Amino acid sequence: MRGAKSAKWVTGAIIVALAATACGGGKDDNAGGAGAVDPNGIFTTDLGEPEKLLYTGDTMESNGAGVMKAVYSNLVGYKADGSLEMLNAESLTTTDSKKWTVKLKAGWTFHDGTPVTSKSYVDAWNWNASLKNAMGLSSWFSDIVGYDKVHPDAEGAKQTAETLAGLKVVDDTTFTIELTQPVPYFGHKLAYTPFAPLAASFYANPKAAAEKPVGNGPYKFKSWDHKKQIEIVRFDAYKGPNKAKNGGVIFKNYTTLETAYEDLKSGNLDVIRQIGPKDLPVYHDDLGDRAVDADHAAIQSIGVAFYAEQWKKPKKVDVRVIQGLSMAIDRATITKTVLQGTREPATGWVPKGILGYQENAAGDVTKYDPAKAKDLIKAGGGVPGNKIFIQFNADGGHKEWVDAVCNSITQATSVACVGDSKTDFQADLTARKEKQVKSLYRSAWSLDYPVNSNFIKDLFHTNAAGNQGDFSVKELDAKIEAADSAASLEQSVKQYQAVEKELVKYMPSIPLWYYKVNAGYSEKVSGVTYGQDGDPILDTVEVKK
């Protein structure tokens, strides 16, 4: 009976395997009728696994940021038009854009019950700025006096101070910030995550705190089941203007946009952040008035690698060549067909929803005009080698539009154009960093703060981190610096508007299109809106009973 014995073995093994993994799952049933709002209702939204632990100074990708915005409340926030709104700050004042005084609203507490004081801010900023902690967003503190001591930039340098000299605690609800030079839009920067306050418990064990952040925002962090879900619940003692109208949010993790959309359709998910390409043609039919089409303040453009031999030798490329290439791109058709209406043709370098957005800032350069494109390229001496490459990462779904842009350019101007595909985003970044881009590269920028300087200075100033194509024009740098030291925010925005109009003369990049939010929500929720950053605004969502 040896055969019988072996059969027993096999079934035995299966039973062991089954028992070992029988961890059973809880299923959530969402029963209830329509109509009345349940103020304690919890809804679900999709989110990828945050790439890193949730440090305020290191969370720069959208998955982590989505959670952080709900858990922390900064001094200020901003409204849909890009103007400021006071959150934790009672007031934010400056006379010269250089020395800023912050007054906090009294009585605010962290989720663990400890009070939010000026020290909570100053300590947090010092910690985030310190080179020792290697936070990815530390450069955000570089405007503040003493940053170069706390965080020297050069490789191998040692920090010589622990705290930023420009930060001074006056009393429990007042502190001052001194900047090395005037930054009229510094207030807007303060809305970004690295400027959030940290509770005293953070410093005892930063890593544990980054697993389970204790914030001061409208939502309390409840649990993080890695790669599965994150749960946050309403913080009842929250005193800010953006108090949550729901009981909490569960961020569910999805591997693809398509699976998230399927769950939305079948009622297992309430709010979705983005519709996948496959479902774009049908989502309006599927969701009816629950389908969302909103502006998203981000831009896709084609960066010019000015260091490339093609543009440098024998002489520097004539700007008319790049203008011509820009005019050879049929943005309207490509956004409608290849991109299925998920983008909107760009007419400048600053997208909508940003303070200082101006319609048609780039003038004619973004209009499709094959005849003029050909003339411009010819007048500029032609494209060296009559062939261009557009570098992109193959893992980001960019191939289709790069091909379309190339076709458009070739048809209009008979300049050969090839997509230069890098296997993934990492390889693409490395090639850009090491200056190996052959002629042009895909470049995208989404807002850090909704002021036009963010789309101009951070991309086109000679020393900007986002300037990866070695674009450098002295007069433009001077104008940017002048706009930066303007007396007031309004003045600065105006000066930047002038700079944007002038970019046409240099064409540091070819603007392609602005992003859009294509999303939707379930029948269970209402009041779903999306911010400039493309993420759903959580606190206004109402859950039906």
Site for other proteins in 253-282 (CB under 8 A): 253-256, 259-260, 262-263, 265-266, 268
Min separation Cβ 230 and other proteins, Å: 11
Tell me: does residue 316 bind other proteins (CB under 8 A): no
Residue 258 vs 293, nearer CB to other proteins? 258
Tell me: does residue 61 bind other proteins (CB under 8 A): yes
Residue 303 vs 324, nearer CB to other proteins? 303
The tokens 């349940």 sit on which residue?
Answer: 38
Task: Using CB under 8 A, count the residues that bind other proteins.
Answer: 74
Min separation Cβ 136 and other proteins, Å: 5
Here's the x/- map for other proteins, 446-475, by CB under 8 A: it reads as --x---------x------xx-x-------
Yes or no: say if 243 and 538 are a contact pair by the CB < 8 Å rule: no
In angstroms, the CA 38 to CA 398 distance is 42
Min separation Cβ 252 and other proteins, Å: 7
Min separation Cβ 263 and other proteins, Å: 5
DSSP string, 340-395: TTSEEE-SSSS-TTSBT--TTTTGGGGS--HHHHHHHHHHTT--GGGEEEEEEEGG
Single residue of 25, 33, 35, 113 touching other proteins by CB under 8 A = 25
Single residue of 318, 375, 395, 403 touching other proteins by CB under 8 A = 395
The tokens 């800032």 sit on which residue?
Answer: 361
Q: Among the candidate windows 102-110, 132-140, 307-315, 381-389, which touches other proteins by CB under 8 A?
A: 132-140
Q: Hey, how many other C-beta atoms are within 10 angstroms of the C-beta on 117?
A: 20
Among residue numbers 324 through 383, which ones bind other proteins (CB under 8 A)?
none
**Ramachandran angles phi, psi of 397, nearest 5°:** 70, 30
Tell me: does residue 95 bind other proteins (CB under 8 A): no
Which ranges of 78-183 would DSSP assign to H, the alpha helix? 118-129, 147-150
Provide the CA 514 distance to its chain's centre, in angstroms.
Answer: 13
Rounded to 10 degrees, what is the CA torsion of 185, 188, 194, 198? 120
In angstroms, the CA 148 to CA 497 distance is 30
Tell me: does residue 170 bind other proteins (CB under 8 A): no
Yes or no: say if 107 and 117 are a contact pair by the CB < 8 Å rule: no
Tell me: does residue 160 bind other proteins (CB under 8 A): no
Q: Among the candidate windows 23-31, 104-112, 165-173, 407-415, which touches other proteins by CB under 8 A?
A: 23-31
Among residue numbers 179 through 238, which ones bind other proteins (CB under 8 A)?
207, 225-229
Single residue of 427, 473, 482, 537 touching other proteins by CB under 8 A = 427
Q: Tell me the C-alpha to C-alpha distance, in Å, between residue 472 and each of 306, 365, 503.
A: 9, 20, 12
Single residue of 131, 169, 200, 280 touching other proteins by CB under 8 A = 131
Half-sphere exposure of 82 (CA within 13 A, CB side): 23
